[in-house]
Structures are given as C-alpha cells and as structure tokens.
Chain A
Amino acid sequence: MLTEGSNLTLRREARIDRSSRTVIALLTARKSIRVGAGWGVVFGLYVATQALAYATSYKTPAARQILVDEFAHNTGISALVGPANQIGTVPGYTAWKCLAVLAIIGAVWGILTSTKMTRGEEDAGRWELLLVGQVTRRGAAQQALLGLCAGGFALFVSTALITAAVGRSSKVGIGTGGAIYFALSVASGAIMFLAVGSLCSQLSTSRRQAASFASAILGVSYALRMIADSGSNLAWLRWVTPLGWIEELQPLTSPRPIAFVPIVGLVIVMAVATVNLAGRRDLGAGILADRSTISSIRQLPSNPLGLALYLSRSALIAWAVSIAAYGLLLGSIAKSGGKIITSSPSLRSVFARLGVSGAEAYLSVALLIMSVALTFVAVSQVAVARKEESRGQLDNLLVQPFSRSSWLGGRIALGVVAIVMGGLLAGIATWTGAVSDHAHVNLLSMLGAGLNVAVPALVVFGFGVFALTIAPRYVNVVTYGLLVWFFLVEIVGGGVRINHWILDLSAFHQMAAAPATPIDWTTNAIMAAIAMLTAGLGVKLFTLRDLKGE
C-alpha cells in the first residue's frame, strides 16, 4: 500500500522524468522563439514598407505597366531575385520584391540558430551535463529540433500578423489567407535551413564547420535557382533546390501549395537523419572524420593580431567572395535596374534634376544592400572579439607581455581594414558588373561609392567596440540592435513620412546615395570620427574593467 509520503515521492519522480524529456526543448525554444519572433517583425515591416512604397509610387496603371514591360521578361533580374510575375499589382510586386530576399535571410538565420543551439551547446559542454541525466543523445536531438521548430513558427507568426495587418489597407489589398500563405512561404526558408543546420551539426566536429557545410548547401541552392531562372531550358532545376521550391509556391500571385510537398519532405528527412545520426556518434565528435593531427607547424602568425587574422581568414574570405559575387550580379543588371528606378515619375524627375543616369541611380540603391552586408561584417568582427574574451582564450594572451590596448587596437585595425576593403571591393565588383552590362559608370566614382557605403558599418563597429568594453555581455544586442534600427528607419523612412529626427538617427540615412548623388565627405568624416571616438573610448575603458566570461 502506498503511503502519502511515497505518493509524493512518486509524483516528484514523475515530474523530474517529464522535465528531463522537455528541458532541452524548452531551453532551445525559449532562445529561438525570442530571436525568431524578432526577425519575423523585421520581415513583416520590410513587407509592409515595400507594399506601401509601391502603392504610393506607382499609383496609375500606366506607371505600373512600365515596370511590367521592363521586368516581366528580364532574365538578369529574374536570375537575381526570381521571375517578376504580376508585378503590375501590389501583391505581385510585394511577393517579387520580398520573397527571395527574405527566404535567403531566413535561411541564414536558420543555419546560424540551429548550429548554435545544437553543435554550439555541445561544443560549450552544456549538453554533456544534460546527457549524463535521463536524456539520451537521440532524445536531446529530438528536443532541440522541437525547440527550433518553435523558433521557426514564431518567425512565421510575426511575419503573418504584420503582413495581414498591412494587407487590410485598401491600397495594398492582401487578404488574410494570402498573408498567411505568403508568411509560410517566407518562413519555409528558415524552417528548411534550421533542419539542414541541425543535420550538418551531426556531421561536423565543430559549430563553425557545421555552419560552413550548411552555408555551402545554401550557396549551391541559390546558384541552382539562379540558373533555373536565367531563361535557359533548365527551369526544371527549380524543383531540385530548396530556394526553387519556395519560388514555386508563388504566394500572392498563383499559389501552388504542391510545392510544400518537397519542403515538408526535406524537413522530415533532415530531422529523422539528425535524430538517427545523433544516436550513432560520440559526443563531441562528428560523423565525418576530422584530421586531428598536424605533422608540422603551418605558416602560423607569431603575434595576436596575426592570430586574429589567421583564425578569421575563412570568414573574411567568405565575406569577400560574397560581396564580390553580389556586386558583380547587381552591376550586371545596372541598365535594367536603372529603368525600374526611373519608371517612377517622381523618382525620374528627382534624378533628372541631379543629372544622373538611371544606371547610377539604380547602383546607389543597390549599394545600400552592400552597406548592410558590410555592417554584418562589422557586427561579426565585434562578436568574434567578445567570443575570444568570454571563452577565456584572451586570458592566454593577456598573461603574456601583451597589453589589453594592443589586443583591442589590433582587433579594431583588423575590423576597420576588413570593412574598408569590403567597401572598395563592393565598388570594384559592382563597377565590373555594370561595365559588362555596357552601363556608363566611372570606376573612380564607384570606388568612392564603395567607401561611402562602408561608413555606416564603421559607425556600428565603433559603437560595438564601445559596448564591448562597458557592457560586454550585451554586445550582440547593441550591434544587431543598431543594424536593425538603421535598416528599419531607412526602409520605413523611404515608404512613409516620419520625423526627420528619427531619420537622422540612421547612419544609412546619413549616407549619400552615391554614385547618383555626390558623396558628402563632411558627413562621412563626422560619422567616421564618431566611430573612431567611440572605439578609442572603448580602448581606454577596456583597461579599466575586469575580463568577463560568458
């Protein structure tokens, strides 16, 4: 017979048993829901501003017809962001402008989040503590997948709510069903690559390697989608790439829910493989063999700055290749892009007054994307510096005859060089692409424009270094917060009328639209000075605080 005491014990054991089955799921869900919902809000606002900006700028059927004539059969643009179906309508234009871009950003988020929550947690040794309890390796993987799924769902819900809300506007005219279907299409990129990242985490021996594998898959997926949309006879390739499946969903135009079949199939296959492989490998190891011995000393730097460069080389090369490739792509459709800009009567008159060509006008808008990419470089450089400190690796250097200011100064130098070189590379690559499209663009003006778009990234970098020294544990919140703030103010400010004080607080807004408008070197110098001042203050303050772990 059970006594009251033994009943209580049994109930407590049952609770512990239940909590062991959910602890990883809850921890993963808590983190991924927060970030996923945040990105969903950004996605929703982007959709809202694009829809409202189109409805405001292209009011008449005639103005919209110019867009249709230029882009309905433009293979260059189609290869870049997908075919322009029904862009004479607000929903059609919104889907064309937002779907491909947001699906890729969502996919990148999916890769970073899933590798961090699975392989990253394992690398940090936190899973080991949980796995010695009642959780099996397969169980842990299942729970993590559930938590990640909740994050993807949060991204979908936020995007759907804002899209549905803006869709109610008579100017936009997107129904609730259409908004939900569109948000689901956008979130598919994130959800598929959450699953891809989870599987790569089982194959790899570190989070970094897992993220590299998953990024390579995303790159191949994008390349295949581009080939499929380039007007060749290879349109069927759309059905072999995840980004092509998203395109085949055709939200807000001619919905084809059948394309959800491969999407759901991929997610299920990846999830099952993840759980299966998690049970087959050793904790801390990967399914793919790792080269664990190095017979001789490679060309290894002998100082901390060289070490920082050595350890960041893969990421910096990846950024450089991405910026160059994207610059070439954007430049290669400069003439067509110029026509889309000047097809808006209001914008045409503005650029006519400035005496610039359509191609230059288009490139100035295209380079804003480069500015965002360079800001990501800045954010990642600050994050890497913080990681070196929080993991304790910095201790190894600072117990040597090597000062804190030398270390941080070196990190700042590396970040500034990476950003400035990235800006110049963006200018050269875009110019090369534009020349191949026979657009008349001056190399020097494009180099200047490249430097121009690097300035907002320097501002974020400077504030990031400052945050690193006064609030190290919140450095990512500060840098990503600034990036999102600058970007949102710029895109919202372009679509709707907002207070100029708010607009002035965005570094993207302060940046001149070069090469369409002359570069404002005074403003750039002030922004660069602010960046250097905050970074310099950061160096000073860094010598006054304790080193802090995670």
Chain B
Amino acid sequence: MTTPAIETFDLRKDFGSTRALRGLNLQVNEGEVVGCLGPNGAGKTTLIRLLLGLLIPTAGRAEIFGMDSRRQTVQAHRRLAYVPGEASLWPTLSGAETLHLLGRVHGHVDEDYRVTLIDRFGLDVTKRVRALSKGNRQKLILVAALMTRADVLILDEPTSGLDPLMEQAFRLCVHEAKERGQSVLLSSHILSEVEALCDRIGILRSGELVEMGTMTQMRHLSALTVEATFEGNVPDVTRIAGVSMVEVQGSRVRCQVRGSIEPLLQVFASTGVIELLSREPSLEELFLSHYGSPTAEVANADRGQ
C-alpha cells in the first residue's frame, strides 16, 4: 500500500478562543487531484498553512508522504510546491531573478518546462515584480511552483486574478501534473474549476470536513433538484419533510429533496402541475445545500408574509 501524498490526523487549530479547524481527517493519494471548497473563514487556508508547517497545530498532525509537516518540514518541502492566492514577492527583483532564486532554494527545476510555462502564461520575466499587475504576479508564482515538478502541488486559490485564457492554461498544467502522477490539493472558490479538475472534493464548514467524495458519490448522497411549473398558484412545499432551498418565481418552484420524493409529488399532483423536471445537483447546488442559499431564505421569508 502506497503512502498517501497528504494525510491529516485529527488536525486541530485554535486561534485564541476561535477554533479554526476541528479535528480534520483528510487524505490525498498519489496522483490524485483533490478539491477543497468552503466559504471565507471555513478553514481552507488554515489547513494549507498547517500542511506547509507555517502554522503549528493545536492538536493532531499533518503528513506529506508520511513525513510530519512540523517535525520533518524540510524533508517534506523537498517534495512539494505551493501557490498562494496572493504572493508577497520581493519588489525590486525581476521575474527572472525571482524564478532563479526560488528555483535554487527549492533545489530542483525542470528548465525546459520553465520555458514552456513562461511562454504558456505569456509572462514578461524582465519586469521588476513591483511593476507587475496582480495577475502577472500570480502567473509568476504559478510558474515558480509548477517548474519544480514537485510530487505534491498545494494550490490555494491559484487562479486568483487570472483572466479566463490564463485559467485555461492553468487547467492544462494541472492535467499535465496529474498525467505525470503528481498529486494536487486545490483550494478554490471557482466551482467550475474544481468540478472540471478534481477527482474528489471536500467541503469545509466551520473548520470541519462536512462532505468528501467524488462528484458521483456526492450526488448520490445529496438532494435531488426538482423544478415544477403550475397552472395556478404555487403550493406551499416548505413544510414537506426533506424539502429545502425552495425558490419561487411566478408559477415556477425549484427545490431540493432528500429522501423519498413521494410526499412532494402528491402535493404537486393535487395542485395541477403542468411541467416537472428533476436532475442531480450541480456542484454549486451541492455546495449551497451545505451553507444555505440567500435567495432561498428570501423566498421562504416572502412566503411567510
């Protein structure tokens, strides 16, 4: 059995009285791309900084290829590369000098791939860092991480500030990494990016991993999305067991159903439904089902008046 690329064991982190991470257990296998979702403050960046050894765990531990990220930091870092959402680089160095320095400190650089990456991202490495836009700085730190061909890539909102074309270039890089057997932990707010790239997805909520699995598994375990159109008024479905995230627009209703769909169908049949659609939820809907939708709250509030 191979050692997982990343593994955490009851990983906990407190900042004073705030519990940022609550006993998290996560595993990223070799050659696997795992996405990490969660709203601001869910604990994604805290998790990543713990994996990198930049934060000290309050309890539990994190391992990179079986090496403790706190006690064997240097050994673990030989096998990983990291991209932050916003890197603070040295403003007086040029892009080329930054890549040269970070490559030398890391110890391994695929020179040919570096040239490919610079070309692919259209990066001007002669400019000083302080003269680069936010997007170009992000490209620079992406190239710095990817050129190492490290066994594990830890990416914290890596496409922050990139335009759609560059985002495509980034997706190509992740596919290449996966083909080479590299492992990737991707934290992102761009759900389409996570859905397109990741083998498995974890959803963090208030420092806890509330959902983890492949898209198929998550869909199977999650609610079904139902949309219906009525001849007259939309019936009140908010009190039906298993129904959530109700959205009403004129004579149309959209909701999610967990468990048996039969009670909902009985109400629909008695009200005069003229169109009925049901489908598995998208990642966005899965994500929102764990956090609640603001529009659903508004719809429920309207109905309550």
A residues neighboring B (CB under 8 Å): 205-206, 290-298, 300-304, 307, 311, 391-393, 395-404, 544-547
Q: Let me know if A392 and B106 touch, CB within 8 A.
A: no
Q: Let me know if A293 and B101 touch, CB within 8 A.
A: no
Q: Let me know if B130 and A206 touch, CB within 8 A.
A: yes
Chain B residues with CB below 8 A from A544, complex form:
56
Q: Let me know if A403 and B73 touch, CB within 8 A.
A: yes
Chain B residues with CB below 8 A from A296, complex form:
96
Q: Let me know if B126 and A294 touch, CB within 8 A.
A: yes
Per-residue interface assignment for chain B, residues 90 to 125, with 1 indicating a CB less than 8 Å from any chain A CB and 0 otherwise: 111110110011101111000000000000000010
Chain B residues with CB below 8 A from A401, complex form:
74-75, 77-78, 105-107
Q: Let me know if B55 and A292 touch, CB within 8 A.
A: no
Q: Let me know if B74 and A302 touch, CB within 8 A.
A: no
A206–B84 CA distance with the chains assembled, in angstroms: 24
Chain B residues with CB below 8 A from A300, complex form:
93, 97, 100-101
Q: Let me know if A293 and B89 touch, CB within 8 A.
A: no
| A60 CB, min distance to chain B CBs, angstroms | 59
Per-residue interface assignment for chain B, residues 118 to 151, with 1 indicating a CB less than 8 Å from any chain A CB and 0 otherwise: 0000001011101100000000000000000000
| A311 CB, min distance to chain B CBs, angstroms | 7
- Other-chain contact of A392, B88, B93, B107 (Cβ < 8 Å): B88
Q: Let me know if A294 and B97 touch, CB within 8 A.
A: yes
B82 contacts partner chain A, Cβ-Cβ < 8 Å? yes
**Contact of A293 with B128 at beta-carbon distance under 8 Å, contacts A311-B90, A396-B89, A546-B54 already known:** yes
Chain A residues with CB below 8 A from B93, complex form:
300
Chain B residues with CB below 8 A from A307, complex form:
90, 101
**Contact of A304 with B127 at beta-carbon distance under 8 Å, contacts A297-B100, A399-B54 already known:** no
A301–B77 CA distance with the chains assembled, in angstroms: 21
| A546 CB, min distance to chain B CBs, angstroms | 5
Q: Which 8 residue pairs of A and B lie closest in terms of their CB atoms, listed nearest first?
A: A392-B88, A302-B104, A292-B131, A294-B94, A399-B82, A400-B105, A401-B77, A401-B78
Q: Let me know if A402 and B105 touch, CB within 8 A.
A: yes
- Other-chain contact of B104, A205, A303, A395 (Cβ < 8 Å): A303
Chain A residues with CB below 8 A from B128, complex form:
291-294
Residue ID in chain B nearest A209 by CB atoms: B92
B87 contacts partner chain A, Cβ-Cβ < 8 Å? yes
| B99 CB, min distance to chain A CBs, angstroms | 9
A311–B88 CA distance with the chains assembled, in angstroms: 15
Residue ID in chain B nearest A295 by CB atoms: B126
Other than A290-B131, A393-B88, give 8 A-B pairs with Cβ distance below 8 A: A292-B127, A292-B131, A293-B131, A294-B128, A391-B88, A401-B74, A401-B77, A401-B106
A312–B80 CA distance with the chains assembled, in angstroms: 29
A391–B100 CA distance with the chains assembled, in angstroms: 21
**Contact residues of B: prevailing secondary structure:** mixed
Q: Let me know if B54 and A298 touch, CB within 8 A.
A: no
B35 contacts partner chain A, Cβ-Cβ < 8 Å? no
| A550 CB, min distance to chain B CBs, angstroms | 11
| B100 CB, min distance to chain A CBs, angstroms | 6
Residue ID in chain A nearest B91 by CB atoms: A206
A301–B101 CA distance with the chains assembled, in angstroms: 7
- Other-chain contact of B87, A298, A303, A392, A400 (Cβ < 8 Å): A392
Residue ID in chain B nearest A301 by CB atoms: B101
Q: Let me know if A395 and B84 touch, CB within 8 A.
A: yes
| A283 CB, min distance to chain B CBs, angstroms | 13
What are 14 A-B contacts defined by CB distance under 8 Å?
A: A292-B127, A293-B94, A297-B97, A307-B90, A391-B88, A395-B54, A396-B102, A399-B54, A400-B77, A400-B106, A401-B78, A403-B73, A546-B55, A547-B54
Q: Let me know if A393 and B90 touch, CB within 8 A.
A: yes
A298–B101 CA distance with the chains assembled, in angstroms: 11
A399–B74 CA distance with the chains assembled, in angstroms: 9
A404–B69 CA distance with the chains assembled, in angstroms: 13
Chain A residues with CB below 8 A from B100, complex form:
297, 300, 302
B186 contacts partner chain A, Cβ-Cβ < 8 Å? no
Count class of interface residues, chain B: 35 or more
A189–B67 CA distance with the chains assembled, in angstroms: 58
Residue ID in chain B nearest A300 by CB atoms: B97
Chain B residues with CB below 8 A from A205, complex form:
130
Chain A residues with CB below 8 A from B106, complex form:
400-401
Q: Let me know if A402 and B77 touch, CB within 8 A.
A: yes
| A121 CB, min distance to chain B CBs, angstroms | 16
A318–B54 CA distance with the chains assembled, in angstroms: 34
- Other-chain contact of B127, A293, A297, A301, A395 (Cβ < 8 Å): A293
A290–B131 CA distance with the chains assembled, in angstroms: 9
- Other-chain contact of A395, B88, B124, B126, B131 (Cβ < 8 Å): B88
A292–B136 CA distance with the chains assembled, in angstroms: 14
B207 contacts partner chain A, Cβ-Cβ < 8 Å? no
A205–B128 CA distance with the chains assembled, in angstroms: 12
A278–B153 CA distance with the chains assembled, in angstroms: 43
A401–B126 CA distance with the chains assembled, in angstroms: 26
Q: Let me know if B74 and A403 touch, CB within 8 A.
A: yes
B281 contacts partner chain A, Cβ-Cβ < 8 Å? no
A298–B124 CA distance with the chains assembled, in angstroms: 17
| A485 CB, min distance to chain B CBs, angstroms | 31
Chain B residues with CB below 8 A from A301, complex form:
101
| A47 CB, min distance to chain B CBs, angstroms | 41
| B72 CB, min distance to chain A CBs, angstroms | 10
Q: Let me know if A293 and B87 touch, CB within 8 A.
A: no
A401–B89 CA distance with the chains assembled, in angstroms: 18
Chain A residues with CB below 8 A from B55, complex form:
546-547
A545–B80 CA distance with the chains assembled, in angstroms: 22
A351–B246 CA distance with the chains assembled, in angstroms: 93
Chain A residues with CB below 8 A from B87, complex form:
392, 395-396
Chain A residues with CB below 8 A from B53, complex form:
398
B52 contacts partner chain A, Cβ-Cβ < 8 Å? yes
Chain B residues with CB below 8 A from A304, complex form:
105
Q: Let me know if A302 and B105 touch, CB within 8 A.
A: yes
- Other-chain contact of B54, A206, A311, A391, A398 (Cβ < 8 Å): A398
Chain B residues with CB below 8 A from A302, complex form:
100-101, 104-105
A401–B69 CA distance with the chains assembled, in angstroms: 11
Residue ID in chain A nearest B94 by CB atoms: A294
Q: Let me know if B52 and A399 touch, CB within 8 A.
A: yes
Chain B residues with CB below 8 A from A396, complex form:
87-89, 102
Chain B residues with CB below 8 A from A546, complex form:
49, 54-56
Chain B residues with CB below 8 A from A545, complex form:
56
Chain B residues with CB below 8 A from A292, complex form:
127-128, 130-131
A61–B97 CA distance with the chains assembled, in angstroms: 67
A547–B50 CA distance with the chains assembled, in angstroms: 11
Chain A residues with CB below 8 A from B124, complex form:
293
Chain A residues with CB below 8 A from B89, complex form:
393, 396
Q: Let me know if A298 and B97 touch, CB within 8 A.
A: yes
A547–B53 CA distance with the chains assembled, in angstroms: 9
A362–B80 CA distance with the chains assembled, in angstroms: 60
| A333 CB, min distance to chain B CBs, angstroms | 40
Residue ID in chain B nearest A314 by CB atoms: B92
In the complex, which of the residues A205, A400, A401, A546 has the most CB atoms of chain B within 10 Å of its own CB atom? A400
Q: Let me know if A311 and B92 touch, CB within 8 A.
A: yes
A546–B101 CA distance with the chains assembled, in angstroms: 24
A358–B80 CA distance with the chains assembled, in angstroms: 65
A255–B174 CA distance with the chains assembled, in angstroms: 75
A290–B127 CA distance with the chains assembled, in angstroms: 11
Residue ID in chain A nearest B131 by CB atoms: A292
Q: Let me know if A293 and B126 touch, CB within 8 A.
A: yes
Q: Let me know if B91 and A297 touch, CB within 8 A.
A: no
